[in-house]
Amino acid sequence: MLNLDIFNPWWRERRVPQFLLGKRRRVLGDILQNIDVRQMLILSGLRRAGKTTLMFQVIDELLKTHGVSPFEILYFTFDAVQAELMDVIAEYERDVLRGKIRDAGRIYLFLDEIQKLDDWPNKVKVIYDLNPNVKLLLSGSAAITLIKGTRESLAGRFFDYRIEPLDFDEFISFRGIRVDRDREGLFELDLRNAFGEYLATGGFIETFDFNELQRRRYFRESLLERVIFKDLPAEFSVRSPDLLLRLVIVIADKPGMYLEYSNLGNDLGFDQRTIADYISYLEHALLVSKLYNYSPNRLTSEKKMRRAYLASTAFTKALTAQPDRSLFLEQFFINAFKARFFWRSPQRDEVDIVLAEDGVVPVEVKIRSKVSAGDAKPLFKFMKRYDVDRGYIISEATEAVFSDDGRTVEVIPYWRYWTLKAKLGMS
């Protein structure tokens, strides 16, 4: 017996208990827009980012606003119990539906941490193909839709949502911080304080009321070590989980470090192929992101040097005694902008961020007491080389505009978050 009623309290109470719901996330509306389409919905992302809570919020909406019977909704998590999918469905059919799923009306199956189920794409595919009346909502830690041929085996059968911790916009809302986004200058102190808290929590809701020691333990023990010592060894042939943790600590200590696999291997006592493989595992787990040296030819970019950052400033804060403030904020903007490129010339001129989704925009992060025209020289070199007319420096407090040969570099303080987003076309 799997005791499915434990996971589905609405079968008895006709509602989702309030403690399971939390606050409504922005992405919930996007998910609900596709609740009635045929395709299954897959929520992927880091552990503790809120995927399970979103599932309960969707269930709550189905019960309250869509008139769905509580007995037509099944939730099960493979993270809590090892079970076969067909066994879960068989018990649900016997004890709740009192009949076969295929003979019922609209049925909603919520399957949490689906990557824990062996050969899950093929098992889910059978349910999907044989039961047009079933709506499947799946969740999984790590980039589950990108591995083991999932895109091929489930092609055309799913919509994917990347569920992330709160971004700064949502964080401001969740914390009840009142700011006039069109008049940021009036709220400088509030925004600086909010940034300090956000950098420490990474937008992970559970940690908002923790002290610093509690946050360190939470991120290291409940999240990082669980992924490193449990999730990744279950997914890949990881012979040295300790090496994964050591690599995470090294990157936390040096955000933006260049990935020179042979040097890392020599320092850590492993060959460079192992280092490269382990970095890719950390990417798969969404703990590490890589940036590539910018080139208009993307294939050329991927063959060039790479830099590594942890996926959250909270991880860096938890693993280092005192993060370098400039690198810390650089990491924040790398993650916030979902940056993929930096630039380094053969003469070693560098630009921290190159945004290249809609036009090319170079961005440098200089968190220091004063930013001068000299700090803009690498940006102007990049702009001249690639015929770009605007660039930006993110500063501590300096606001200025530098010009050179018809090109401009604008300096904007980091806490003017919405000004930066507007300038970069991210509003």
Task: Please tell me the predicted confidence (pLDDT) of residue 200.
Answer: 95
CATH code that applies to domain 4-164:
3.40.50.300
If you average pLDDT over residues 28-53, what whole number do you get?
91
Task: Please tell me the predicted confidence (pLDDT) of residue 145.
Answer: 55
At a CB cut-off of 8 Å and minimum separation 6, what does 263 contact?
A: none
If you average pLDDT over residues 242-265, what whole number do you get?
94
* pLDDT at 144 > cutoff 70: no
* pLDDT at 321 > cutoff 60: yes
Half-sphere exposure of 331 toward its Cβ, with a 13 Å CA cutoff? 31
In this prediction, residue 87 has a pLDDT band, given cuts at 50, 70 and 90, of: very high
Asked if residues 169 and 283 have their Cβ atoms less than 8 Å apart, the reply is: no
If you average pLDDT over residues 156-185, what whole number do you get?
91
Residue extents of the structural domains in the chain = 4-164
In this prediction, residue 63 has a pLDDT band, given cuts at 50, 70 and 90, of: very high
* pLDDT at 301 > cutoff 60: no
* H, E, C per residue of the chain: CCCHHHCCCHHHHCCCCHHHCCCCCCHHHHHHHCCCCCCEEEEEECCCCCHHHHHHHHHHHHHHHCCCCHHHEEEEECCCCCCCHHHHHHHHHHHHHCCCHHHCCCEEEEEECHHHCCCHHHHHHHHHHHCCCEEEEEEEEECHHHCCCHHHHCCCCEEEEECCCCCHHHHHHHCCCCCCCCCHHHHHHHHHHHHHHHHHHCCCHHHCCCCHHHHHHHHHHHHHHHHHHHHHHHHCCCCCHHHHHHHHHHHHHCCCEECCHHHHHHHHCCCHHHHHHHHHHHHHCCCEEEEEECCCCHHHHHHCCEEEEECCHHHHHHHCCCCCHHHHHHHHHHHHCCCCEEEECCCCCEEEEEECCCCCEEEEEECCCCCCHHHHHHHHHHHHHCCCCEEEEEECCCCEEEEECCEEEEEEECCCHHHHHHHCCCC
If you average pLDDT over residues 92-110, what whole number do you get?
93
Please state, for a pLDDT cut of 70, what percent of the chain lies above it: 96
Asked if residues 287 and 315 have their Cβ atoms less than 8 Å apart, the reply is: yes
If you average pLDDT over residues 230-240, what whole number do you get?
87
Q: Which two tokens stand for residue 202?
A: 């990474």
Q: Is 121 exposed, middle or buried (0-12, 13-18, 19+ CB in 10 A)?
A: buried
If you average pLDDT over residues 140-155, what whole number do you get?
67
If you average pLDDT over residues 97-117, what whole number do you get?
92
If you average pLDDT over residues 420-426, what whole number do you get?
91
* pLDDT at 268 > cutoff 60: yes
Task: Please tell me the predicted confidence (pLDDT) of residue 425.
Answer: 87
* pLDDT at 370 > cutoff 90: yes
Please state, for a pLDDT cut of 90, what percent of the chain lies above it: 78
* pLDDT at 51 > cutoff 60: yes
If you average pLDDT over residues 73-91, what whole number do you get?
91
Selection from 393, 335, 338 nearest residue 367 by Cα:
393
In this prediction, residue 331 has a pLDDT band, given cuts at 50, 70 and 90, of: very high
